[in-house]
């Protein structure tokens, strides 16, 4: 039961792709835009978020299939649906989940705006899950090798990682020139648990034999790294998994360092160029570490063996275990954070001020803006890429809107909308992606949302 609870905690306690926040990016009426670009052009005197409610986001994506493909109430047997999904997907299809909750956040002006410096800080908790679909392994498990004589099943299809961590951060940005802002952010990571199996290789194939019925060859080089998990699976464990995880997430886990960099540049008063690189960092895992390896090779000639541990001729199972043993290592290991890159170009128009621009590019002075954004993120294989076109408008003096259209690996029809409004000094915002998919959530390949509450004090506020 404890194992079931642990798995539930990993996937549900922090319920919920990774981490393209294209609506939030450069939407500077929301203070959290500084988290996607520490060089964002924000103009607040100071701000602070409502603890635990200033930034809550969840993102889920699945390329190749949706929940409807597996669980539709259409009279088709689940096993048949599962087989159809396996046959229709490839090893490059993926499942991704990401969640963030801000514990606290704030920022303040340094000196006056002539010095043009700004400090921001905070802490957030994040959960990541990423897995490529192990297409060859799923095919072998569902169908066996009877109809696949001669096919080489790739064990390297197995690629999966998951982590729960907290991040304490502090950032600073400064106007280097009248039209150029550069910013950076330092991060301290604390990993409550980590599990990853990404650099695997090996194969299984069966061919007709000239001396016996079949010749089956297995070569395995598989490895699973874990930290912060093993003690919860021990029979003698009497603690509370939930509270233990919370304590470790608050700097009781494995530690690491990272940084963000970004800038905003105005080549013209109504043209803006931005870029940022986020989460360049590492975590050193040394606490409660276990690494499981399955390395070796095995060759069998005869009728296909069953590796189930039951009695069989010539002790095939024992021979298999000896040839490809499971070893457990306790040495520490280091993981790199998934690095995100953003870049955007924006053209603003309808200057509501009616006067000359100070060329600082305060985008709120323009009623409208159109632009494009590029997002890239590292993954265990090739980087993922997303392209976004957007339109931003100041609907009212205290209400801003941003609409986006994004093409990525999960969807070609991703329409998003963000709203940010101020009631006095109180700011609330809501951002949601894939709005067309809300007509039938079961058929959605990706969904994301973000909302939060802040208090914002501008230079003109008393």
CB atoms near residue 77 (< 10 Å): 8
Of residues 34 and 382, more confidently modeled: 34
- At residue 461 the predicted structure's pLDDT band, cuts being 50, 70 and 90, is low
**The pLDDT value given to residue 236:** 65
What mean pLDDT do residues 16-41 have? 86
Q: Residue 322: what pLDDT?
A: 86
- DSSP class of residue 2? H
* Spatial CA neighbour of 387 closest among 363, 408, 417, 418: 408
Q: What is the DSSP letter of 383?
A: P
Q: φ, ψ for residue 330 (rounded to 5)?
A: -125, 20
Structure tokens at 29: 């009426």
Q: Where are the beta strands (DSSP E) in 20-64?
A: 44-49, 56-62
Residue 460's pLDDT is 63
Task: Compute the radius of gyration of the chain from its Cα atoms.
Answer: 26
pLDDT at residue 116 is higher than 90: no
Length of the chain equals: 462
pLDDT band at 312 (very low <50, low <70, confident <90, very high): low
Task: Check residue 353 and give its pLDDT.
Answer: 53
DSSP 416: E
User: Is-contact 190 163, C-beta < 8 A?
Assistant: no
List strand residue ranges (DSSP E) for 158-249, in order: 160-177, 180-197, 201-208, 214-227
Residue 431 clears pLDDT 80, i.e. is over it:
yes
Q: What is the dihedral of CA 69, 73, 78, 82, to 10 degrees?
A: 0
% of residues, the chain, pLDDT over 70 = 85
pLDDT in the model for residue 53: 95
Please give the residue that has the higher pLDDT: either 60 or 336. 336
Between CA 117 and CA 133 the distance in angstroms is 46
Q: What does the pLDDT average to over 30-47?
A: 93
CB contact at 8 A, 228 and 288:
yes
**pLDDT reported for residue 359:** 40
| Residue that has been written with the tokens 């597996």 in this structure | 70
Query: Can you read off the two tokens belonging to residue 350?
Result: 């309808």
Distances from the Cα of 205 to the Cα of 35, 253, 268, 322, angstroms? 48, 42, 62, 19
- Cβ density class 47-73: b for 16+ within 10 Å, e for less: bbbbeeebbbbbbbbbbbbbeebeeee
| DSSP 8-state secondary structure symbol assigned to residue 398 | T
Burial of 319 (0-12, 13-18, 19+ CB in 10 A): middle
Written in H, E and C, the secondary structure of 233-273 is HCCCCCCCHHHHHHHHHCCCCEEEEEEEEEEEEEEECCEEE
Statement: 17-458 belongs to CATH 2.40.160.40: yes
In 286-425, beta strands by DSSP E: 289-302, 326-329, 333-336, 340-351, 366-377, 384-396, 399-407, 414-423
In which element (H, E) is residue 22 found? Answer: none
Structure tokens at 213: 């019925």
Mean pLDDT, residues 147-164 taken together: 91
What mean pLDDT comes out for the span 9-18? 36
Contact criterion met (CB below 8 Å) for 277 and 260: yes
Phi, psi angle pair for 88, to nearest 5°: -95, -5
Residue 442 has pLDDT above 90, yes or no: no
d(CA 363, CA 392): 10
Q: Return the pLDDT at 62.
A: 78
pLDDT in tens, 329-362: 999 999 999 999 999 999 999 876 544 444 433 4
Which residue has 């109180």 as its token pair?
426
Q: List the domain boundaries for the chain.
A: 17-458
- 88: which 2 tokens? 């229709």
- The strand pairing partners of 344, in sequence order, are 274, 373
Structure tokens at 57: 């986001």
The pLDDT of residue 37 is: 97
Burial class (CB in 10 A: 0-12, 13-18, 19+), 246: middle
What residues does 346 pair with on adjacent strands? 272, 371
| Closest to 283 in 3D by CA, of 245, 227, 244, 243 | 227
Residue 65 CA to residue 79 CA, distance in Å, equals: 15
């Amino acid at each position: 039961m404890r194992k079931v609870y642990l798995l539930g905690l990993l996937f549900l306690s922090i319920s919920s792709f990774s981490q393209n926040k294209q609506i939030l990016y450069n939407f500077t009426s929301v203070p959290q835009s500084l988290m996607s670009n520490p060089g964002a052009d924000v103009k607040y005197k100071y701000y602070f978020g409502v603890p635990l409610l200033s930034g809550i986001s969840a993102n889920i994506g699945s390329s190749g299939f949706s929940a409807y493909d597996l669980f539709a109430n259409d009279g088709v047997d689940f096993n048949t649906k599962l087989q159809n999904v396996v046959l229709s997907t490839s090893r490059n299809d993926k499942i991704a989940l990401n969640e963030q909750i801000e514990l606290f956040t704030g920022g303040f002006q340094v000196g006056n705006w002539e010095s043009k410096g700004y400090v921001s800080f905070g802490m957030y908790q994040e959960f990541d899950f990423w897995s490529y679909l192990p297409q060859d392994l799923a095919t072998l498990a569902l169908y066996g090798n009877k109809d696949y004589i001669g096919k080489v099943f790739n064990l390297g299809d197995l690629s999966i990682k998951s982590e729960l961590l907290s991040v304490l951060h502090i950032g600073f940005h400064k106007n280097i020139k009248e039209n150029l802002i550069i910013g950076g952010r330092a991060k301290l990571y604390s990993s409550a648990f980590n599990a990853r199996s990404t650099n695997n290789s090996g194969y299984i194939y069966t061919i007709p034999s000239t001396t016996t019925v079949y010749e089956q060859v297995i070569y395995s080089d598989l490895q699973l790294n874990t930290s912060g998990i093993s003690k919860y699976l021990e029979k003698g464990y009497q603690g509370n998994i939930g509270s233990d995880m919370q304590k470790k997430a608050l700097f009781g886990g494995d530690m690491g360092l990272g940084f963000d960099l970004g800038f905003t540049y105005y080549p013209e008063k109504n043209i803006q160029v931005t870029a940022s690189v986020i989460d360049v960092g590492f975590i050193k895992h040394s606490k409660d570490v276990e690494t499981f390896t399955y390395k070796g090779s095995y060759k069998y000639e005869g009728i296909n063996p069953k590796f189930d541990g039951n009695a069989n001729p010539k002790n095939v199972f024992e021979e298999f275990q000896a040839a490809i043993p499971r070893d457990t290592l306790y040495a520490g290991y280091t993981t790199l954070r998934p690095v995100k890159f953003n870049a955007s170009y924006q053209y603003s128009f309808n200057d509501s001020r009616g006067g000359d621009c100070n060329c600082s590019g305060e985008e709120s002075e323009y009623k409208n803006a159109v632009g494009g954004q590029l997002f890239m993120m590292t993954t265990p294989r090739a980087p993922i890429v997303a392209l976004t076109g957007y339109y931003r408008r100041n609907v009212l003096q205290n209400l801003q809107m941003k609409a986006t259209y994004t093409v990525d690996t999960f969807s070609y029809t991703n329409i998003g909308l963000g709203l940010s409004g101020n009631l006095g000094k109180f700011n609330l915002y809501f951002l949601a992606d894939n709005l067309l998919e809300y007509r039938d959530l079961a058929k959605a390949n990706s969904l994301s949302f973000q909302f939060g509450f802040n208090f914002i004090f501008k230079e003109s506020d008393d």
